[in-house]
Amino acid sequence: MSNNGLKKELGFSQIVAMAAGGMIGGWMVEIKLWFDLSGPGSAISLITCAILVLSLCFIYGEMTAMLPYAGGENVWISNSVNWDIGWFSFWFVMLLYVMGVPTVTYGIATMLSYLYPITFIQTKIVAAIILIIWYILSNFEIKVLAKLQNLLFWIMLVCSIFASITFLTSHNWSLDTLLPLFPKGVEGYSAAVGLLIMKFIGFDLIPQLSEESNMPRNKLILAFIASLGVTLLVYVLAVIGIGGIVSSEWVTQVDVVDPRVADLIGKHWLALIIVIAGLGACITTLSGFYLAASRTLFGAARQYQVPQWFGKLNKHGQPSNANILVFFACAYFTIFAPETWLNYIYAIYGIAAGVVYFLVVVSFVRLRKLHPEWERPFKVKNDKFVAVVATFFCIWVLVSAVLAMDKGSWITLVGYFAAGLLLWLLVKSKQKSDPENWPIEIVNPDNTPID
């Protein structure tokens, strides 16, 4: 058990399943946006994006090994810049995870619609029911969820690779159908690389779960690399398998892509397997994002950035009070999602990811200068080059996301940050009126021992 009561129950396989599950879930619903952005060339866009994300994985690997505390990015940024910037980074990180949950719930509802067609309003109702069920499950021991997620993830991985290979070896598959690779040219490719960062958000779950990991700190980098590699494999095989059978226009018009392609080539049995595996993948994603969001809030409570009430653990060692806020935040984005929810979520995601990752890169550089004495069980080589690549990518993501935002997305985003500003002002007022119970606390190895 860690110093704060969180139980160390997660091994390598489970962490990879949670991180990769956070990336992969719902791909068969979201893949139509990929094709809309850059056609079959989205496979190349995804590879480009993954290579750039790898620079962030190395940075995250060093930072997690050095400061393996729940809260992750918030802790790093608070130590490298200040407590207030750390607070706003925490709110951005929360946005990454609470946006992920409705993405998955809509994905589950959309996949279920393959079995029984439902309207968009009914989709929202199903998504809300899933949120309620998962709120209840999140309050039990993490090892139960971890074992379930581990099983479902590896089943999904095998099924998805099998489906893609079936598509590739089908007599319906043709290299000519893949052309043109980029229907929207360089502009589509560029936009896809920036916006598809959303499909690699999941590697950053690892810092949030690091206090509950029983892996050696210098080995955590392997979880980052493995989860990224497995995710890319699934994505690229899916795009090439589908892109060689149907046109980009066809893909953008259907509800859930992979099962419809299986039906098109006369393999309904495969379609059912894909749907079942896809639902399992979504469950693993839902679990990962929900757990990461509650740990982010828990970490903020330990730094007195939110009321201590959010730092309470129940008898199962779960931050049950934090789970309440996570539930309502997820419900907010679920309720206000428009029918074009994919575009809406990807754009908001890009802004949050670009800001958070940029601040992490800044922290990576600054902490090497400010605290060279802190132990780094894993240390990035060629750190200046890695930092430059990561910074360039963050700017790319931010520009792509801003260009993709519409009025509804801006309204939703402003509403979220208005609520955050009110919470920040409340905490700042408490610091002035009751400094004894609201100290400015920043967790680091000098005041919080690392297990």
- The 3-class secondary structure across 325-346, one letter per residue, is HHHHHHHHHHHCCCCCHHHHHH
State the DSSP H helix or E strand holding residue 185, giving kind and residue range, or none if neither. helix 185-195
- Cα–Cα distance for residue pair 19/40, rounded to 1 Å: 26
Q: How far is CA 210 from CA 63, 159, 245, 290, in A?
A: 11, 29, 42, 15
Question: What tokens does 441 get?
Answer: 């606390």
3-state secondary structure of 379: coil
CA–CA distance, 124 with 430 (Å, rounded to integer): 38
Mean pLDDT of 10-29: 76
Rg (CA), the chain: 21
Lowest mean pLDDT, pick from 102-111, 293-302, 325-334, 387-396: 102-111
Report the pLDDT value the prediction gives residue 7, as an integer from 0 to 100: 60
CA dihedral 141, 145, 150, 156 (to 10 degrees): 180
| CA distance to 164, 191, 254, 350, 435, per residue, from 29 (Å) | 15, 19, 9, 19, 49
Contact 51, 229 (CB under 8 A): no
Tens digits of per-residue pLDDT, 93-112?
A: 888 888 777 777 777 777 77
For residue range 358-392, list pLDDT tens digits in order.
999 999 999 999 999 999 999 999 999 999 999 99
**256-278: per-residue pLDDT in tens?**
888 999 999 999 999 998 888 88
CA 203 to chain centre: 7
Q: How many CB atoms lie within 10 A of CB 399?
A: 15
- As given in the structure block, the two tokens for residue 274 are 């894909």
pLDDT at 410: 87
132 or 389, greater pLDDT: 389
Neighbours of 367 (CB within 10 A): 21
Distances (CA, A) of 113 to 101, 260, 363: 18, 12, 44
